[in-house]
Chain A
Amino acid sequence: MRLFMNYSFQFDAVFAAWPQLVKGTLSTIELSMLSMVFGLMVAIVCAWGKTAGPRPVRWVINAYIELIRNTPFLVQLFFFFFALPALGLRWTAYTAALVAMVVNLGAYATEIIRAGIESIPKGQIEAGLALNLKRHEIFRFVILKPALRTVYPALTSQFILLMLSSAVVSAISADDLTSVAANLQSQTFRSFEIYIVVAGIYLLLALSFSALFRVIYRMALNYPAGR
């Protein structure tokens, strides 16, 4: 094609920088996994508050969910990185990114887990009461675990969306994979080659995470559940 003639692809500069790319990939994996774990914890607490808490608690949780779900992640990130330090809070770009991701995922995952909790039949909870289980035991074994199993596909695709949107944290240079790519780009001017390789890495990460989630499902949630 005539169009391609003027440009010769040079991937050498990209592959020469593989140690930085590996470091960036590991950093994105770390950031994603930490925010999945903490975000899930936030979501479980909020989902419990939303389904069983008193009215003011439910109101606050609803406000949190609506606020996060109706504003862009990039703006939330700027808020945590630029606005909160103006109030005297000092933290690094990495911490601000992690907190923004946890807060963001927490809101989405709360709604997903709440839907799972509401799908648990009343009889199942009453059975738990009849077996004289304690309140926290009922929540943990009778409500939460089956609820997580029900919403597992929605929850894990939210996790993967979060991992992909973590590329946005490069806007505050949080040392993730996309930040590495942006640095390489400004040193080598091989923008297209770098971004195509990095996009490939993200695709591999997305596929690996979904494989990992299938393994976790088989190990932790794949018990027979007849109705």
Chain B
Amino acid sequence: MRTFGLSEFLFILEAAKWTVALSMMAFIGGAIGGLIIALSRTSHNAVARLLSGIFIQVFQGTPLLLQLFLVFFGAPVLGIEINLWVAAGAALILNSSAFLGEIWRGCIQAIPGGQWEAAHALSLPYVSRMRDVVLPQAFKIALAPTVGYMVQIIKGTSLAAIIGFVEITRAGQIINNATFQPLIVFSAVAAIYFVLCWPLSLLAARIERRQAAALSR
């Protein structure tokens, strides 16, 4: 029987790059999707508002694990060949689109009405109104919760282990099955996640404190 040593630890650490890659994929895809959702949610078009509202309700109201299963088992139903990367990536992107969309909707709506009215008064077209007036201001408020949400994405990628995607958690399970030392193996797994997530949590808290200080002046 193997014992947990440096090479076992390095095996888990090596898998961290897949956790990071999957997280980046989910964040970039989720940011694009989230922006579309946030803009639809705040638009004047009733249909866009309704559809994005349903999207958010469905993806925030069902477990991420089930979304992962539905993509993984649903794609063959649609006749699409699927690999673990696409399944895990698609589920995480859809889920983070809903959450980021809802966070950013709040940030867009927090911009004072006068700003919108001023942009209207200058007869700026929609694109310019959003791109030059509303979104830059919303971006500032959105920064702290968005960085905080990245931590949720990294933790969410651990669920890909359940469908067999080898990232940190799955690598930990593999090592645990070979060594039968769950205490040390899962402590190591948790420690690697902590090292990935904690700096982001601290950064989010720092941005938030700074903004609170700037607002109270």
Contact = CB atoms under 8 A, between A and B. Distances in A.
Interface in B29-76: 57-58, 60-67, 69-70, 73-74
A78 B173 contact: yes
Given A75-B169, A195-B70, A70 B65 contact: no
**In the A-B complex, the 7 residue pairs with the closest CB atoms:** A167-B63, A72-B158, A82-B182, A191-B73, A70-B197, A72-B155, A206-B61
B118 interface: no
Interface string B151-195: 100111011011000000100110010000111011101100110
A99 interface: no
A203 B79 CA distance: 26
Given A78-B173, A82-B176, A178-B63, A71 B183 contact: no
A3 B190 contact: no
Given A7-B79, A74-B159, A75-B158, A86 B183 contact: yes
Interface of B: 57-58, 60-67, 69-70, 73-74, 77-80, 151, 154-156, 158-159, 161-162, 169, 172-173, 176, 181-183, 185-187, 189-190, 193-194, 197-198, 201
A4 B190 CA distance: 42
A202 B201 contact: no
A86 B65 contact: no
10 contacts: A67-B190, A73-B158, A75-B186, A75-B190, A78-B176, A83-B187, A167-B66, A168-B159, A171-B162, A178-B63
A164 B62 contact: yes
A189 B12 CA distance: 33
A170 interface: yes
B67 A78 contact: no
Contacts of B185: 83
Contacts of B61: 164, 202-203, 206-207
Interface residues of A, number: 42
A91 interface: no
Secondary structure at the B interface, as helix, strand, loop or mixed, is helix
A82 B80 CA distance: 36
Interface in A81-102: 82-87
Contacts of A76: 190
A185 B194 CA distance: 34
Interface in A48-65: none
A203 B61 CA distance: 5
Contacts of A191: 69, 73
Contact of B193 (A75, A82, A165, A206): A75
B189 A75 contact: yes
Contacts of A11: none
